[in-house]
Structure 1
Amino acid sequence: MVQIEEIRRSFVSRLKEALAAEGIPEWGAGVRLAKMAKVTPKACSKWLNGESMPGGTKMLALAGALSVRVEWLEYGRGEMREAVTAQPVDHRIPPREFNLQDDKSYTGVLQLTARGSTGSDDDNSHVEIRGVLAFKTEWLRANRLNTKHLDVIYADGHSMEPTINGGDVLLIDESKIEPRDGQIFALQSNSKGTIVKRLVRSDFNGWIIRSDNPDKAKYGDQILSDEEINEVRIIGRVVWRGGML
């Protein structure tokens, strides 16, 4: 007789395989999947951790969100996906990079209205393109930064002082979504919105989301266990900041 634990483990394995096929990393998988399937992040976290399995309606929503066959996702029957058909290209998507006509030695990066909280929360429910910020093309090349993956946002708050001040301009590399000990990242939390914090590997298990501000009574650490990392999505690594000294 097949045990329920074995059924759940097999389902989790297929769910993670489908997420990987979509290019969705483990960090923040629950948050992304919840948005895609229109379910709660807590439910996705339980499914990814093998604590429970979705019912029929939610299983169908997961399969649709991940473009996989529901029979495969639920029972492991047949192939993961139906035959792939070509998708039309959406030409309405704005370019992620610009070559500045007046000076080819500079490249423009999208400047967004989004704010990364270094203090109070920012949910950035509506983000618009504010303009273009110019960077030296040679500097981008020297630092191996691809403008297709770059965005400019703004810091808001005091928790990352003295490293980052409120109002500072932040360059985010959205290709760098793997956690690195001691590096600063823009993160998306279901409970806190968009935040900018330093990630520190815990001596025990999981990660610490840390503020640089020495006032730990006000800006304390948040500890994430390895089971909780799918609830916080890494948007990208902060690779440059500009502001007053």
Structure 2
Amino acid sequence: MKKPIRTPLSAEQLEDAKRLNDIYLKRKKESREDPNQDLLNQAEVGERCGWKSAQSIVSQYMTGKVALNLEALLKLAEALDFEPVDVSPSLAAGIRRFDPSASALAGQEAANCPIPESEDLPDASDEFYAFIPQYDAKAAAGLGSENPHVEIQSTLAFKRNWLRSKGAKPEHLIVMYADGQSMQPTINHKDVLLVDRSKIEPVDSSVFVLTSADGAIVKRLVQAPLGQWILRSDNSDKHTHGDRMYGASQGNEHRIIGQVIWRGGDL
């Protein structure tokens, strides 16, 4: 039987693996210098993560033979005591580890946050948070992004309680990325967009991802007289980012993919 062919890791994924290995070597050195600690090894790290074939799995992540995913990154962050963003900025967008010294107010704010904190990560993870497919497609905050070939890169975790509060079902959701400046300051270039594909009817003043002749776009839909809809950019530069019409006569030109219910990214 032939062995399965592995897709080569990207340069970014290889950098993630190197950063993970560097942190592991640092923690191993610290354990060697502390007489009260046992010497850290890859097998112990894997056991802390709850993995079978513990040493082999950790080794594959650290040497770049297998790409990190979000769930593995979060478990390794707890096992080796690091912030996920320090290893993989792309996977860890918006994720923070739980700080037990945080105030009660901060704890209340965390409960309203869609991204899971570390206390939300028991082995029975599916019960507490949902992994949403993260596509490499872009939704242009501008003229349009062509996405002739779309692939799932990985997944992004969202709290199930938060999704329920939004009336969103995981099976209807996808993650995409914004491309361009036309929706600033609401949505910035490279922001993560959580899109609900079940919401395909126009809603006044809500933000949607649509297909167009130019590709995928993200715009605010604003109702106009006579039953028409305007595709509006939030950018105040209307000379560059002017309004466009979306009406019944243009039904073949634009099609709503879904409504944007959350965005995340750098400030």
TM-score, length basis structure 2 = 0.52
The aligned runs of 1:163-202 (5 Å cut-off) are 163-189=186-212, 191-202=213-224
After TM superposition, give the deviation of residue 240 of structure 1 in Å. 0.4
After TM superposition, give the deviation of residue 192 of structure 1 in Å. 1.4
Distance in 2 of aligned mates of 1:181 and 1:100: 41
Runs ≥4 residues deviating over 2 A: 99-104
Residue in 2 aligned with 1:238?
260
Match of 2:248 among 202, 215, 226: 226
Distance in 2 of aligned mates of 1:159 and 1:122: 13
After TM superposition, give the deviation of residue 225 of structure 1 in Å. 3.4
Residue in 1 aligned with 2:130?
107
8 Å contact from structure 1 (residues 116, 186) kept in 2: yes
Distance in 2 of aligned mates of 1:156 and 1:136: 26
Residues 163 and 121 (structure 1), Cα distance of their counterparts in 2 relative to 1, 3 Å cut: same
Residue in 2 aligned with 1:158?
181
SS of 2:147 mapped into structure 1: coil
Match of 2:151 among 109, 121, 128: 128
After TM superposition, give the deviation of residue 103 of structure 1 in Å. 6.5
Work out whether 1:147 is the aligned partner of 2:154.
no
After TM superposition, give the deviation of residue 210 of structure 1 in Å. 0.5
Q: Which has the higher contact order (CA 8 A, sep 6+)?
A: 1
Code of the aligned partner of 2:138: R
Distance in 2 of aligned mates of 1:160 and 1:136: 26
After TM superposition, give the deviation of residue 243 of structure 1 in Å. 1.0
Code of the aligned partner of 1:206: Q
Distance in 2 of aligned mates of 1:177 and 1:121: 19
Work out whether 1:138 is the aligned partner of 2:161.
yes
Distance in 1 of aligned mates of 2:161 and 2:246: 38
SS of 2:144 mapped into structure 1: coil
Residues 167 and 100 (structure 1), Cα distance of their counterparts in 2 relative to 1, 3 Å cut: farther
Give deviations 1:158-181, integer Å, cap 9, x for gaps. 000000000100000000000111
After TM superposition, give the deviation of residue 223 of structure 1 in Å. 1.4
The aligned runs of 1:66-81 (5 Å cut-off) are none
Code of the aligned partner of 2:205: G
8 Å contact from structure 1 (residues 117, 157) kept in 2: yes
Distance in 1 of aligned mates of 2:174 and 2:262: 11
TM-score, length basis structure 1 = 0.57
After TM superposition, give the deviation of residue 220 of structure 1 in Å. 0.3
Equivalent residue pairs, number: 146
User: What value does the CA root-mean-square deviation take over the aligned residues?
Assistant: 1.7
Match of 2:235 among 198, 204, 213: 213
Code of the aligned partner of 2:228: G
Residue in 2 aligned with 1:38?
none
